[in-house]
Amino acid sequence: MKTTGYALREAIKRQELRRETAAQQFNGSLHAFEDEKGKDSPTKVMAAFLAAESAVAQLQTSQMRYNLAVMVDIGGKPMSLAEAIKTIGGLGRGEKMWRSAAAPKKDRYGSDPSLERDPTRVFAQRQITVNEAVKLASESAKKVGALRAAIAVGNAREVELEGLEAALFE
| Model pLDDT for residues 92-138, shown as the tens digit of each residue | 999 999 999 988 777 666 556 666 677 787 777 888 999 999 999 99
Residue 25 is predicted with a pLDDT of 95
Q: Give the span between the Cα atoms of 132 and 137, in whole angstroms.
A: 8
Dihedral of CA atoms 151, 156, 159, 161 in degrees, nearest 10, equals 80
| Mean pLDDT for the chain overall | 91
Residue 115 is predicted with a pLDDT of 63
- Over pLDDT 70: what percentage of the chain? 94
Say yes or no to pLDDT of 161 above 70: yes
Say yes or no to pLDDT of 9 above 80: yes
- Over pLDDT 90: what percentage of the chain? 77
Model confidence, pTM: 0.80
DSSP label at residue 157: S
Residue 104 is predicted with a pLDDT of 75
- State how far the alpha carbon of 109 is from the alpha carbons of 76, 77, 105, 106, 120, in Å: 48, 47, 12, 9, 20
CB–CB of 77/133 below 8 Å? no
Closest CA to 164 of 64, 58, 82: 58
- State how far the alpha carbon of 135 is from the alpha carbons of 27, 104, 149, in Å: 56, 15, 21
Closest CA to 6 of 166, 128, 164, 151: 151
Residue 112 is predicted with a pLDDT of 62
Domain ranges of the chain: 2-169
Q: Give the span between the Cα atoms of 78 and 72, in whole angstroms.
A: 6
Q: Give the span between the Cα atoms of 137 and 60, in whole angstroms.
A: 34
Express each pLDDT in 47-66 by its tens digit.
999 999 999 999 999 999 99
CB–CB of 11/60 below 8 Å? no
Instruction: Count CB atoms within 10 A of the CB of residue 54.
Output: 13
Residue 121 is predicted with a pLDDT of 76
